[in-house]
């Protein structure tokens, strides 16, 4: 690695240093590649290789969301002023039918969520709105 790269990205963990290393350094003025680049259009495809960083609290957040959905489902079946009152109500046959319907809806939604998982191929690594929502 040249001294120019070290001056532009002094820390070893700097992503700029990694990128410059992959590009074989900063282009110089006398370089034929730089002269050719002025005459022709340049396309640059960017792929975020740092996007695969996993949230360490993702499992906890998923459980929290799942618990909130379950509480909301209970309140849909047995609506009342508060959760305790809803949980203390007697369960009727009608409640059971509504509960089964809600569980089926939740399974369908889970199936849809699993089908639209973010793409992991390099060509599709750009952020999509559905990836961000999940």
Please check whether residues 34 and 76 belong to one and the same domain. no
* Residues 27-61: b if buried by 16+ CB within 10 A, e if exposed: eeeeeeeeeeeeeeeeeeeeeeeeeeeeeeeeeee
Asked whether residue 45 is assigned to any structural domain, the reply reads no
pLDDT value of position 20: 73
Q: Return the pLDDT at 125.
A: 46
Identify the pLDDT of residue 134. 47
- Whole-model pTM: value is 0.44
Residue 103 lies in a domain: yes
Count of domains forming the chain: 2
pLDDT, residue 32, reads 75
Residue keyed to tokens 């059971």: 96
Whether residue 25 contacts residue 7, with contact meaning beta carbons closer than 8 Å, is answered with no
pLDDT of residue 64: 92
The verdict on 110 and 78 lying in the same domain is: yes
Q: For each of the chain's 134 residues, which pLDDT tens digit applies?
A: 454 544 566 777 777 777 777 777 666 767 777 777 777 776 777 777 767 777 788 889 989 988 998 898 889 999 888 889 999 999 999 999 999 999 998 889 888 877 765 554 444 444 455 555 54
Range of the domain at 25: 3-39
Does the residue 31 lie in any domain? yes
- 67 and 15 inside one domain: no
């Amino acid at each position: 690695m040249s001294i120019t790269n070290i001056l532009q990205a002094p820390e070893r963990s700097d992503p700029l240093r990694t990128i410059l290393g992959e590009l074989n350094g900063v282009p110089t003025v006398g370089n034929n590649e730089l002269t050719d680049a002025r005459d022709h259009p340049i396309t640059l495809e960017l792929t975020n290789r740092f996007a695969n960083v996993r949230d360490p609290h993702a499992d906890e957040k998923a459980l929290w969301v799942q618990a909130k959905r379950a509480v909301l489902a209970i309140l849909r079946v047995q609506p009342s002023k508060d959760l305790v009152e809803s949980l203390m109500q007697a369960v009727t046959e009608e409640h059971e039918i509504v509960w089964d319907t809600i569980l089926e809806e939740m399974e369908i939604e889970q199936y849809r969520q699993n089908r639209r998982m973010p793409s992991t191929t390099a060509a599709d690594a750009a952020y999509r709105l559905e990836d961000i929502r999940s």
